[in-house]
Structure 1
């Protein structure tokens, strides 16, 4: 990237603070890590000239960008808000008119969370693969039946339209954009500064495996087991140890796992190991053998076979597909 990309983040009253701050911080950190800025960030209040107040009560100092900015916008980010706020805004002609003026000048349009409804209202989601926050999926399908709504994924890109599930998945989407612009190693560096997982590819579920599993149980012993497994994935773990950690007999643990997760205890452990492996594959300095070892697989061959059985591709192919080749080699 020779010339900094012009990025405009649309704001409005009651906007979701994390939808704005998360993606903006990704680009800000990328700028700080480069010799010269790669992104020019501008903010535009669709509600007028005042400083918009976010859902968290924080007022954002928002000065109108100079006219030069609006001649060509490389990336327009449209954050979300609570559904009743979104539905109110899309009925306001002045608001939508200002947004449409920005959209018409933007090469790439990206929404975070329920911001996808704004794109839908402008007819930009027709025949596009899109997503939104899990709580708004059914409403998005109903209101914009021509959109190809994707269930339970973090983000998706279809041409010049990016949509994400919202809140922290907006960070995942921006990291993917940084990877496209500046390469996987820079995206990894940004993720490390922010202390977030890299990378969660867009097709991953909106709930991480540990959170998904923990949400399905109320038994304190089972909740403790999931956390304990996450902290010990790098070593051998027997079903007997799992039973002891959860305060159950082996038979009782087997029954509870089947009832809650439709998995045996061994299958539950394998699922958690593989989810950890997907995240570690983003780190090119880790060999496939290193990834296997950190996830508790004693043999690389066994790891490769198990990974391929679950995801349909080898660990190496998965790394190349989602995280690119290591440009340092």
Structure 2
């Protein structure tokens, strides 16, 4: 049985949540600091069985049961159902009342959309899954949306990026509550880094390019850059490949892609280097040469600009060979 001094952690769900958004942080809080540290509960609007995005449903308690009870940490779970939940007035009313009784209010992934709809994120910095950042910014202009962080803490309100980032956020909260040693013990148990290097931009660079160039007008150019990645590539080279003047090309490219051509080439080089670092055992210096960086220091600086981590850190974290 939990101790009378255990901190109550309430997970809020709704139909079609992502199971890992719930189970990851739930696992952290269930076992961190022993059985007396936290008391965990899962709630939904009416209670009962809630469908997830997997074959496994989950049993929940009604939110109504907790409207008069102090809560230490309230965590809204993410999932495709967040969009419907963010438009459900009764659900949002219950959530707002629960949030007013919580010492700490959090979201995992697209759960930030629900918190924003409840007004909890107004005037605050927040993050969500990189696929939903534009939606969050467009529909909730009072929220200061940040795209790259794994999680954001703004006062007593925490938000986390996509799916597994909820585990990173939970570990950070364990450190805040119980100290660094308790968080490290929990991280070791989960076989996960205590602090993940870099941000979620590590995973979305190529997809982001595709999303910006919806008509594919620069697809052939990007393929050409990837095919000549070892060479030094100038704006003049790229303009010639597109059959345009350098000035017109630079203007059109920047308007379409949102970054100047030189920045795009750097990002493509970094993406190619990431693939080599993850799938081969060749040296960092060789990777730098193969991707046109000339030397390891230039590649290190480019990695810090693009993915907020160093090549060696990326290699140790994501290597698959």
Report the TM-score when normalising by structure 1: 0.66
Aligned-residue offset at 1:227: 2.2
Q: Distance in 1 between matches of 2:91 and 2:185?
A: 37
- Does structure 2 conserve the Cα–Cα contact (< 8 Å) formed by 1:214 and 1:226? no
Aligned-residue offset at 1:69: 8.1
- Does structure 1 conserve the Cα–Cα contact (< 8 Å) formed by 2:87 and 2:117? no
Aligned-residue offset at 1:190: 0.5
- Does structure 2 conserve the Cα–Cα contact (< 8 Å) formed by 1:75 and 1:107? yes
Q: Distance in 2 between matches of 1:38 and 1:69?
A: 22
Residue 26 of structure 2 is matched in structure 1 by 24
1:195-245 deviation per Cα after TM superposition (whole angstroms, max 9, x unaligned): 1111127xx41144xx568989978x967632256x67xxxx474x548xx
Q: Distance in 2 between matches of 1:242 and 1:130?
A: 35
Q: Distance in 1 between matches of 2:36 and 2:87?
A: 38
Distance 1:142 1:267, change over 3 A: same
Aligned pairs for 1:90-239 (under 5 A) are 90-200=86-196, 204-208=198-202, 225-227=276-278, 237=283, 239=285
Residue in structure 1 matching 2:11, options 9, 32, 35: 9
- Does structure 2 conserve the Cα–Cα contact (< 8 Å) formed by 1:5 and 1:74? yes
SS at match of 2:27: helix
- Does structure 2 conserve the Cα–Cα contact (< 8 Å) formed by 1:23 and 1:174? yes
Aligned-residue offset at 1:77: 0.4
1:245-304 deviation per Cα after TM superposition (whole angstroms, max 9, x unaligned): xxxxx5xx2xx445xxxx855543683125579x8xxxxxxxxxxxxxxxxxxxxxxxxx
**Structure 2: runs of 5 or more not aligned:** 210-222, 228-271, 302-309
Q: Distance in 2 between matches of 1:267 and 1:118?
A: 42
- Does structure 1 conserve the Cα–Cα contact (< 8 Å) formed by 2:127 and 2:133? yes
- Does structure 1 conserve the Cα–Cα contact (< 8 Å) formed by 2:67 and 2:94? no
Q: Distance in 2 between matches of 1:222 and 1:181?
A: 39
Residue 307 of structure 2 is matched in structure 1 by none
Distance 1:214 1:269, change over 3 A: farther
Residue 311 of structure 2 is matched in structure 1 by 272
Deviating above 3 A after TM superposition, structure 1's stretches of 4 or more consecutive aligned residues are: 63-70, 211-219, 221-224, 263-270, 274-277
Q: Distance in 2 between matches of 1:43 and 1:184?
A: 26
Report the TM-score when normalising by structure 2: 0.67
Residue in structure 1 matching 2:49, options 36, 48, 51: 51
Q: Distance in 1 between matches of 2:145 and 2:54?
A: 29
Q: Distance in 2 between matches of 1:191 and 1:132?
A: 22
Residue 306 of structure 2 is matched in structure 1 by none
Distance 1:150 1:44, change over 3 A: same
Q: Distance in 2 between matches of 1:122 and 1:66?
A: 17
Aligned-residue offset at 1:20: 0.4
Q: Distance in 1 between matches of 2:178 and 2:311?
A: 31
Q: Distance in 1 between matches of 2:85 and 2:163?
A: 19
What is the Cα-based RMSD across aligned positions, in Å?
Answer: 3.3
Q: Distance in 1 between matches of 2:292 and 2:109?
A: 32
| Equivalent residues, number | 248
SS at match of 1:71: coil
Residue 71 of structure 1 is matched in structure 2 by 69
- Does structure 2 conserve the Cα–Cα contact (< 8 Å) formed by 1:214 and 1:223? no
Aligned-residue offset at 1:100: 2.0
